Structure formats: structure tokens, C-alpha cells
Amino acid sequence: MNEVLLSQEVIVYLLSESLLFGLLFVAFIITPLLIKRWNFDAFTQEQFRLENRSYLVMSIVFFVMALKILLLPYFVYTIDQLSDIVPGAMCGAGIIKANGYGNPLLLLKIIILFLSGFWMTLNRLDLEAKAYPYTKRKLWFFLFIFMLLSIEFALDILYFTHIQTTNPVTCCSVIFGQMGGSNALFLGLDTPMLLLLFYLLFVLLVLMLWSKNSLGIIVTSLLFLFVAYYSVVYFYGTYIYELPTHKCPFCMLQQEYYFIGYLVWGLLLVGVFMSLDYAISRWLWKRDALRLRNFALWALSLFVLLCSLFVVVYYSKNGVLL
Amino acid sequence: MHNNAFFHFLSLLLFKQKNKHIGAIFISVIIIFLLSSVLFISSSLQKSLQATLQNQPDFTISRLQAGRAVDTPTEWIEKIVQIDGVSAVTPRVYGRYFFAPNENSFLIVGVDFFDEQSNRSLQELMETTDLKSFFAMPSMLVGEGVQKFMSAHYYSDSFSFKLPNGSFKKVAIAQQLPSSTNLIANDMIVMPLELAKEIFAMEEESITDIALNVPNDAEWDTIVGKLHLLFYDAQVIDKREISKAYKSLYNYKGGLFLILYLITIITFMLILYQRYSMVYSAEKKEIGILRAIGWSIQDILKLKFYETLVIVISSFILGVVLAYIFVFIFDAPLLQEIFLGGENLANSVVFVPTIEFGILGSLFLFFALPFFASVLIPVWKIAVTPPKEAML
């Protein structure tokens, strides 16, 4: 018997994913006909029926995407809970590495969330304009996301059925720690350089957002996401844990650290997503969503402030840096 | 559309048509209540077990022969004490004493009262016991279940143990173990080591196992290695393994329940689908009027979405609060038995209130997602009602 599949969180998670996939499948089945026969200028019974159906697709996708946003932190929480029953694991890092499906799955989840966010923006624009100008593009885009979602669903099942409770997995200090003095950072960077890059990219991103340069925002925000991930894991994380050797993106999600990880990673992802969304809707759909931009600025600034605050608080308490 | 007017309309609608929703709310509350009671009990028991486990000795070592645990020689103790980093090495004698063959049994634990105890709650208990009167005659400390059982059999202040050689040994009941330890100490009797050996007729130089503490967590794995090098026929059990075993046991019980509950949830979804298809088809005229006065499909979807959200959230809160009262105020009569098992002495446990956000989140997903998923299609069907329905 597979103990992992008996874990409450895994059952709830897989049930949710299956239900959502079922709904998406309904939407998927009616989409091809919509794409083929959609003609807004036609004044036929069929076009009215298609318009009604497009609302079904829209409601389903909207509902599923909204829940996927909730399910991402829940997935991370599930992984974290599993570390209690899998030997050797202290946090989610070990579990996600328990088989080859974990890391691609997590990455795919984040990509899907971003894409579905763009879909929702497109959908809003489509509804605002009275003639549904983007419907066909929106539906094609949905088909593409559905393909990714199918892969995700398959990976979900493969991942959870292939975690073994008999073989020990590695702990986060083994995965992320520097073993044998090798440098874990990319391009041979050292910590001061990484931090410099982190703050420079942040400033650059803010400037890009102010100057509304779409392409600049996209490139900078993706770079910032990448550099911020490394900075949090290899520098700010050590201040959250108050331990210079503890480098892990997952442990901060645990109760011992007041679940601060959800806030840290949440702010980063939301900030980067909103910058991207702003840039794309400006670039492709010629909309200047100022509210989105301001949200992005707030989230990113809060993220940088929160990270820096951990260092400042540690320094003011102990008088030394790690 | 102005938001306030919209929500005002929503609440008017909900109160006006409460009969339509009361059935769904009623079933939802029952489903949430049952499920959350079970999960609350499971998590509360886990919490108490982990707390009790904190006070247990870090390691126990016993001798294995042909894969079975046999009596451990006392000379092992001296060798173990030599290992650096080990403290509170305690010999233990324990076993089951059957009141009558194949009937109720007690767990007798023999400890050396003058030694430092590796079990921290036992250590505290010993400091409060009046040792002088305790050792004036053969005495013992008993768990709550044992106490009740003995007084029901007219042994109110002492009990006569039947020894394997047929003679009787009378032992006085000195004190009752604190009822906060009921989860593991309900059927337990604590008595001096020598007395326990006498009751089990064990040899002078042997004990059941050896318990010890290693205060520095980082040294645990090294100590296990050293113990295995010292004795090739030793079985070393550490506290972490027991903790994981307990966790997976409760994980198993809760998970199995949840899997069986899947059937209920799916039935519930079918009922909801049917019910709301019916309810909404009766609303056709109303929606038609709304569409005719200028509501878009989007607005109707929004209205129905909020309506469902109010129902889901209110029944969720109601169900969880009822379960909380049932489990933590009334101590979950009936349901308790599933988790505690009363085949030996009757046990009663006071559940320590624990609320984990993770469990509430799981519950909410487990309930709300199927709910929404099953009303989504009926909602869409009604929302696309053409305005001409209003004229019919």
C-alpha cells in the first residue's frame, strides 16, 4: 500500500486536480467547434448558441484558474506535510527531489499560472469590447494552456504515485549546501556580486515600469525572478533561518518560521507576474493598465523591503552579519 | 452596476428565497461536520501523542534472538554507560499481566526509583511521590483505566498478583498516574524493578530493555552506530522512528476515512447538480426579467457565483463550529472509539483543542471545490437564458 496516497493532503489535492481537469475537459470538448464556426457578424441561431457556449468555456476557465492560484500554495504545503512520512526529508526540498517528476511539475505549475493570468487579462479585454474581438485568439490560447494542463495532470499523478516511503531522500542542506567548496551560484558569482545584481535589477525594473518600456519590463522581470530566487535561497534565507549554513527555499514555508516563505515567494511571483502582464497587455493589446503597474511596483518593493528587513533586523539584534 | 446595490440585491434574494437553499445547506453542514470531527480528533490525538513522546527516553535497546526480543543482560548497562554523550541509562522491566487468561491485561513497568529516569514525566512523578511510605511495603502507581478496573473488582487499595509459581503477591496502590497521560498510560502500572521481576519471575541478571537519553540531537546517529558495534544482537529503537510510526498510523486512519468519504462527496455532487438544475430552471422567468432590464450574462454569472459563495462559506463555518463543539467540548462521544479502540481497558481521553490551518484549508478545498464544480454548469445554463423568457 502506498502511504503517500493515503495522506489527507494528497487525497484532497488529487481530488481537486481531477475535478478541475474534468471541468476543463468539458471546456476543451466544445472549444474546437467554437473556433471553427465563430463569426461575430453572423446573425444566426448558431452564432447565438456559440456565444452562450463561449460563456461556459469562460466560466470554467475562470473558475479553474482562480482555484489553481489557491492550489499552488496548497501543493507546496502538501509536499511539506509529506516530509513527515518520508524518511530523511526535513522539508519540501527532499520530497520534490524524491523522483524526477517533482521539479518539472513545480516549474510547470508556475508557468501555467502565469499563462492563465495572461488569459484572464485577455478575457477581460475581450468582454469589455462589445464585439468580442479576441475570442478566437483567446480560445486558441486556451487550447495551448489545456495542453500544458494535461501534461501537468499526468505529472501530478506520476509524481505522487512514485514517491517511496522506504527509500530515504536527501535533506535540503545536501541539495542546496555547498559541498566540497564548489560554488552553487551561476556564472561563478559570489554573494556580494549577487546582491549587487539583485538590487541593480530591482532598480532597473522599477525604472522600466516607470518608463513603460514593454520589452524592457519583460526581460528585466524574468532576469529579476531568476536572480531573486538565488538571492533568497543563498543569502536572505540564511537570515530568515538565522543560520549561515541553512540554504533552502522550502524550510521557510514551515511553522517554525511563521510560514513567512509563503509571503516571500508569493510577493515575488505576484510582482513579477503583474509586471509581465502589464508589459504584455501594453505591447500586444495596446492597453495601459496603470493599476496593474502600480500593484506590480508595490509587490516588488514589498518583496525587496521584506528581504532586506531580515538582514537589518538580524544586524540590529546581533551586531554582526552572517 | 454599483456594487452596493448589487450586494443589497444579492442579500435580499438570499433571504427571500431561503427555502431553495436550505436543503443544500443542511446536507453540506452534515458532511462538513462529520469530516471535520474526524480530522479534528485525528490531529488532536497526534498532537497529544507527540507531546507525550517528547518525555519518552530517546533510545531503547533490547536483545534479539532469532528475531524475537528476549531478556537483556544487565551487564550491557555498564558498557553503555561508557559511551560518551549518553545520559540517564535506565534498566526497564515491563510486560503484560493478564487478569485472567485471554482477558483484560495491564502493562507493568518496573523502574529503579533511586536512579535518574530517562522518562521525563516519570522523573517528575517520582519527585512528587512520598518514597518513604511507597517503600514501606510493596506498592505501585496505576493508570486511570487500571484504577477503575481494580475498584470495579473490589481491589480498592491493593491488588494480589498471581505469580507463575502459583503463589500470590499483594501490592498496595499508592497513587494514580496523572490522567493527562491517559493516551499511553491508561492500562499502565509503575512499580519498583525488583517487584516487577518477581511478578514476571524473571532471572536476577536480566531485564527487558535499557532506556537511555542522548541530550545532543546531532550525536544520535553516531550513538546508534556505536551501540550496534558494541552488541551485535541488539535492537535499537529511537524516538524518531516511533514518532514517524505514530504519524503514519494516524495518517493512515485519517486517509482511509477520507478515501471512503470520496464516495459521499461524489454522491453529494450529483445531488447538488440535480437540485440546482431544478432550482434554477424554476428561476427562468426571473433571470429573463433581469436580462431584459439590461443585465449581461456576465452579471448573472456574478450574481449566481456570489450566491453560491455565501452558501458555501456559511455552511462551512457552521459545520466546522459544530464539529469543534462536538469534539473539544463534548469529547466526541462514539467517534472516539474509532481512534482509541476499547478492546482492553476502557479509555477516556480529553481532546486538547488544536486547530491547524492546514486542516481547515484541506477541508475547505475538499468541500468547496466539488460544490462549485457541480453547480457551475447549472449556473451557466440559467445565465444564458434569453430575455424573451420573461415574456412567457
Per-residue pLDDT tens digits for B221-267: 788 888 888 888 888 888 878 887 777 777 777 788 888 888 999 99
A303-317, B91-105, B337-351: least confidently modelled range: B337-351
Q: Dihedral through CA B372, CA B377, CA B381, CA B384, nearest 10?
A: 70
| Shared domain check, A114 and A239 | no
Instruction: Using an 8 Å CB-CB cutoff, list chain A residues near B221.
Output: none
Site from A1, A5, A8 to mutate, B interface, most B CB atoms within 10 angstroms: A8
For residues A19 and A138, state if they share a domain: yes
**Position B221 in a domain:** no
Which stretches within chain B are classed as H helix? 3-16, 18-54, 75-81, 120-128, 131-136, 144-152, 182-185, 193-200, 220-230, 239-281, 284-292, 297-324, 335-340, 357-383
Binary contact (B376, A60; C-beta < 8 A): yes
Q: How far apart are CA A152 and CA A289, in angstroms?
A: 31
Q: Which residues of B touch A52 (CB under 8 A)?
A: 297, 384
Same domain, B205 and B254: no
Q: Looking at the domain assignment, is residue B219 inside a domain?
A: no
The residue among A161, A186, A211 that closes a domain is A161
The range of the structural domain enclosing residue A209 comes to 178-318
Confidence (pLDDT) at B66: 84
* DSSP of B199-240: HHT--TTEESEEEEE-S-GGGHHHHHHHHHHH-TTEEEEEHH
Which residues in B lie closer than 8 A to residue A56 (C-beta atoms)?
Answer: 377, 380
Write out pLDDT tens, residues A253-270. Answer: 888 888 888 999 999 999
- Classify residue B229: in a domain, yes or no: no
Please state the rounded mean pLDDT for residues A188-197: 83
Which of A129, A161, A193 delimits the end of a domain?
A161
> Is the domain of A141 the same as that of A260?
no
Residues A93 and A214 in one domain: no
Residue A182 pLDDT more than 60?
Answer: no
Average pLDDT, chain B: 83
Q: What is the pLDDT of residue A132?
A: 81
* A11–B258 C-beta distance less than 8 A: yes
Chain B contacts of A59, Cβ < 8 Å?
Answer: 301, 376, 379-380
Q: Is the same domain home to A113 and A75?
A: yes
Between A32 and B176, name the one with better pLDDT.
Answer: A32
The answer to whether residue B197 sits within a structural domain is yes
| pLDDT tens by residue, A35-50 | 888 877 878 888 888 8
Chain B residues 179-238 with a CB less than 8 Å from chain A: none
Domain boundary residue, one of B165, B194, B213: B213
* Cell numbers 512528587: residue: B128
A122 and A227 both lie in a single domain: no
Residue B2's pLDDT band, with cuts at 50, 70 and 90, is low
Is B230 domain-assigned? no
Minimal Cβ distance to A85: which of B251, B370, B379: B251
Q: How far, in Å, CA of B42 to CA of A69, rounded?
A: 28
Partner residue facing A67 (CB), from B258, B362, B369: B369
Q: Touching check for B254 and chain A: CB below 8 Å?
A: yes
Q: A172 lies in a domain?
A: no
Distance (Å) of CA B81 to CA A111, B72, B76, B211: 57, 15, 9, 11
Domain of residue B27 covers 3-52+245-391
Per-residue pLDDT of A90-132, as tens digits, reads 778 888 888 889 889 999 999 999 998 889 888 888 888 877 8
In chain A, the percentage of residues whose pLDDT exceeds 70 is 96
Residue after which a domain boundary falls, among A135, A161, A187: A161
Q: pLDDT by residue (tens digit) across B309-358? A: 999 999 999 999 999 999 888 888 888 777 766 556 666 677 888 778 88
Same domain as B9, residue B96: no
| Under 8 Å between Cβ of A61 and A142 | yes
Report how far apart, in Å, the C-alpha atoms of B128 and of each of A147, A166, B121, B147, B242 are: 68, 44, 11, 19, 28
User: Looking at the predicted structure, is the pLDDT value of residue A14 above 70?
Assistant: yes
Q: Does A152 share its domain with A281?
A: no
* Sign of the CA dihedral running B22, B24, B30, B32: negative
**A298 assigned to some structural domain:** yes
Report how far apart, in Å, the C-alpha atoms of A19 and of each of A289, B81, B137 are. Answer: 34, 59, 68
Q: B275 and B357 share a domain? A: yes
For residue B238, being part of any structural domain is answered with no
- Answer yes or no: is pLDDT of A184 > 80: no
Question: Do both A12 and A154 map to the same domain?
Answer: yes
Rounded to a whole number, what is the distance in Å from the CA of A82 to chain B's nearest CA? 10
Residues B47 and B65 in one domain: no
Residues B63 and B209 in one domain: yes
Task: Examine the domain organization and report whether A114 and A151 are in the same domain.
Answer: yes
Instruction: State how beta strands B105-111 and B139-142 pair.
Output: unpaired
Q: Do B365 and A23 touch (CB under 8 A)?
A: no
A40 and A121 assigned to the same domain: yes
Residue A258 maps to a domain: yes
Residues B275 and B333 in one domain: yes
Is the same domain home to B289 and B158?
A: no
Binning pLDDT at 50, 70 and 90, where does residue A19 land? very high
Contacts of A185 (CB under 8 A, 6+ apart): A191, A194, A230, A234
Higher pLDDT, B320 or A85: B320
Do the Cβ atoms of A247 and A173 come closer than 8 Å? yes
Q: Do A20 and B373 touch (CB under 8 A)?
A: yes
Cross-chain CB nearest to A7 (options B255, B361, B383):
B255
3-class DSSP assignment, residue B191: strand
Chain A touched by B17 (CB under 8 Å)? no
Question: Is B252 within 8 Å of A3 when comparing Cβ atoms?
Answer: yes
Domain annotation covers residue A170: no
A304 or B127: which carries more pLDDT confidence?
A: A304
Residue A16 clears pLDDT 90, i.e. is over it = yes
**B-chain residue closest to A14, CA distance:** B366
Q: Which residue of B has its CA nearest to A76?
A: B358
A-chain residues near B247 (CB < 8 A): 84-85
Q: What is the pLDDT of residue A94?
A: 82
B113 and B203 together in one domain: yes
Q: Please indicate, yes or no, whether residues B134 and B14 belong to a single structural domain of this protein.
A: no
Number of structural domains chain A divides into: 2
Q: Do A63 and B376 touch (CB under 8 A)?
A: yes
The verdict on A143 and A79 lying in the same domain is yes
- According to DSSP, the β-strands at B68-70 and B105-111 are unpaired
Q: End of a domain among B213, B228, B259?
A: B213
Residue of chain A whose Cα is closest to the Cα of B368: A16
Determine, yes or no, domain membership for B225: no
Q: Which residue of B has its CA nearest to A17?
A: B369
* pLDDT single digits (tens) B37-74: 988 888 888 888 787 787 778 888 888 888 887 888 88
Asked whether A191 and A322 are in contact (CB, 8 A), the reply is no
Query: Same domain, yes or no, for B204 and B280?
Result: no
Is B340 in contact with B349 (CB distance < 8 Å)?
yes
Task: Identify whether residues B47 and B119 lie together within a single domain.
Answer: no
Inter-chain CB proximity A3 and B297 less than 8 Å: no
Within a domain: residue B95? yes
Q: Are residues B309 and B256 in the same domain?
A: yes
Higher pLDDT, B245 or A179: B245
Is A171 inside any structural domain? no
Question: Are A6 and B262 in contact (CB < 8 Å)?
Answer: no
Cβ contact, residue pair A6, B380, below 8 Å: no
Number of structural domains in chain B: 2
B369 vs A16, A60, A81: nearest CB: A16
